[in-house]
Amino acid sequence: MRIIIIGAGQVGFHIASRLAMEKKDVVVVDKDPEALRQVFESLDVQTVQGCGSSPVILEKSGIKGADILLAVTDSDETNLVATFFANLLSPTTVKLVRIRSEEYLSYQDILTQEPYGIDVIINPEEEAVKTIETLLRVPGAVDVGEFAEGRIKLVGVRLEEGCPVIGVKLSDLSAKTGDMKILVGAIIRDEKLIIPSGNNKLQEHDLVYFISEEKDLKSALKIFGKRAEPFNRILLIGGGNLGLKLATTLEGMSIHTKLIEKNADRCRELAEQLNKVVVLQGDGSDHDLLREENVQSMDVVVTLTDDEETNILTSLLAKRMGAHKTITRINKFSYLPLVAVIGLEHVVSSRLAAINTILHRIRRGKVLSAMTLKGEEAEVLEAVALETSDITGKPLRKISFPSNALVVAIIRGEEVIIPTGNSVISPDDRIIILSTRQAIPQVEKVLMVKLGYF
C-alpha cells in the first residue's frame, strides 16, 4: 500500500510514524525543509520537498501509483487544492482531507462530489467533541470506544485503592461478573501494555480495558469500583469553536452547563447561539471566579482553551478545589505521556482524535471503526468478516493469528459472543480485535479482502 501524506506537522508525522512501523510505503510532502529533515532522520519513509497543492509535486511524489492521499497540513486551502489536483491526476486514489474551517465544512456535500472527489472529510474538532461526549456518557472511565453502533463498549478504567477486583485473577473474574459478558482485553501497568491471560492478576493503579455490552455497562463499572451515576453539572472553560460545538452538544443532552470565556465579544456571540448554556465572561483560571461558580459542585470541568498550559493548570486547580472530574484539551503530543503522572487522567486531543479516524479509514479489510488505546501501543479494530478473509470458517485456535492480538468479541446479528479458542467466525460477523501496533500488518492480512481496501 502506497500512501502520500501532505504535511509534516504533528498530525502528518504521527501518522507517518505509525504507518512506517507497519512497513507501509509512505511518502511525506512538505515545503519546510526542517520539518522534512526531522521526518527523514526519524522514520523509514520517503520525503519530497515542495507545496503539496502543486500538481508537479504530486506527480513527483507518485500520486498516480498511490492508494491513498492524506492532506493534513494546517492550511485548509492547501489540503483542498491538493485533493483537487490529486483527483485530476489519479481519480482512483482514495483521498482523505483534514478541514477545520466552518465555512468549508458547510459545503461537505459538494466537496465529496465530482470534480473535487474527496472521499473522507475529517474535522478534528468534531472528532474531539465525539470523544468528550463518549467520555461523559460513561462516568468513571478514562477511555471509551464504541462499536456496533454503540451496543458494545471498550472501556478503560483505572483501578484505585479499595477496588473490589484488585488481586483477582482474570480466570476468576467471572465469579464477580456472573452472566454479564465482560472480557478484559488489555492492561496498561507502569506504562507498559499487557495482553493478558487468565493467570494475570489485577493490581492497584492498573489501567484496565474491558469489553462490555451497553446494557451491562453500569453493573460492569461498579464491579471495577466506578460510579455509574450520570453527570448533571458541567463547567466549560474556553469558548472557541471546540467549546461552542461541545456546548451545543450538551444542550441536546439536557445537561446543566456553564461556559466561561475571557473575550467579551466572543461571549456575546456564544450567548446568541446557545439557548440553555449559561455564558460567563472571565478568566477560567481565576481562583476566585471558580469559587464563585461553585466549581466544587461540578461533576466535570472541561478546559478547552487554545493554550495547553492554561488548560493543564486550570484542570489541576479545579481538581484541587473539589471538582469531581476534569477533561483537559491537549494537542502537543509531547505533553500526553506526562499528564497522567500529574493527575490528569482524562485528556482529549483534537489532533489525536483526527488521527484515530484517519487510521481506521486506511486499514485493509472491511474495517468499520478503530481506536487507539492510551499510550498508543495498541489499537482496537471493528471489522466485518468476509468469505474472502482467512479468519472465517475454522476455530480461532487454528487461525494463523499473531500472539499479541486478540479477538475480544464477535457480534452475530443481535448476539454478542465473548470468544474462546473453539469459537468459529462466520461470514458477515462483526469482530472486534485488540492488537499491538507491531501486529497490525498481520491482523490486516487476516482480514484482507481480495479487492480494494474499504
In angstroms, rounded to a whole number, what is the distance separating the alpha carbons of residues 451 and 446? 14
Question: How is 79-118 classified by DSSP, letter by letter?
Answer: HHHHHHHHHHH-TTSEEEEE---HHHHTTHHHHTSTTT--
Tally of domains within the chain: 4
Please report, for the domain that includes residue 363, its CATH number: 3.30.70.1450
Among candidate residues 88, 72, 76, the one with its CA nearest the CA of residue 26: 72
For residues 64 and 146, state if they share a domain: no
Given strand 2-6, what is the order of strands in its sheet?
46-49, 25-30, 2-6, 68-71, 94-98, 120-122
For residues 210 and 198, state if they share a domain: yes
For residues 100 and 158, state if they share a domain: no
For residues 219 and 279, state if they share a domain: no
**Residue 452: its pLDDT value, please?**
40
**Residue 102: its pLDDT value, please?**
87
For residues 274 and 286, state if they share a domain: yes
Single residue among 352, 376, 396 that ends a domain in this structure? 352
Single residue among 96, 122, 148 that ends a domain in this structure? 122
The residues, ordered by sequence, that sit 6+ positions from 399 with a Cβ below 8 Å of its Cβ are 390, 391, 446
Residue 327 lies in a domain: yes
For residues 157 and 174, state if they share a domain: yes
Given strand 430-436, what is the order of strands in its sheet?
367-372, 378-384, 430-436, 405-412, 415-417
Domain carrying residue 139: 128-223
Strand partners, 329: 348
Residue 452 lies in a domain: no
Residue 162 burial by Cβ neighbours in a 10 Å radius (0-12, 13-18, 19+): exposed
123, 127, 128, 129: CA torsion to nearest 10? 100
For residues 112 and 167, state if they share a domain: no
**Residue 365: its pLDDT value, please?**
61
Residue 102 lies in a domain: yes
Residue 454 lies in a domain: no
DSSP 201: B
In angstroms, rounded to a whole number, what is the distance separating the alpha carbons of residues 361 and 350? 17
In angstroms, rounded to a whole number, what is the distance separating the alpha carbons of residues 250 and 267? 17
The maximal CA–CA distance of the chain, rounded, in angstroms, is 65
Residue 369 lies in a domain: yes
Pull the grid cell for residue 279. 455564558
In angstroms, rounded to a whole number, what is the distance separating the alpha carbons of residues 315 and 339? 11
Residue 135 lies in a domain: yes
Single residue among 58, 87, 122 that ends a domain in this structure? 122
For residues 118 and 15, state if they share a domain: yes
Please report, for the domain that includes residue 14, its CATH number: 3.40.50.720
For residues 87 and 192, state if they share a domain: no
In angstroms, rounded to a whole number, what is the distance separating the alpha carbons of residues 392 and 98? 35
Residue 53 lies in a domain: yes
Beta pairing, strands 367-372 & 378-384 = antiparallel
CB 365 within 8 A of CB 389: yes
Pull the grid cell for residue 398. 487454528
Strand partners, 372: 379
Per-residue pLDDT of the chain (454 residues; tens, 9 = 90+): 899 999 999 999 999 998 988 888 999 999 999 999 999 999 999 999 999 999 999 999 999 989 999 999 999 999 999 999 999 999 999 999 999 998 999 888 888 887 778 999 999 889 899 889 888 888 888 899 888 888 899 999 999 888 999 999 999 998 888 888 889 999 999 888 999 888 999 999 999 999 999 999 989 999 999 877 778 899 999 999 999 999 999 998 888 999 999 999 999 999 999 999 999 999 999 999 999 999 999 999 999 999 999 999 999 999 999 998 999 999 888 888 788 788 887 889 888 888 888 887 777 667 788 888 877 788 898 988 888 788 888 899 888 888 888 999 999 998 989 888 899 999 999 999 999 888 888 888 887 754 343 3
For residues 366 and 343, state if they share a domain: no
For residues 202 and 291, state if they share a domain: no
For residues 325 and 432, state if they share a domain: no
Count of positions (residues) in the chain? 454
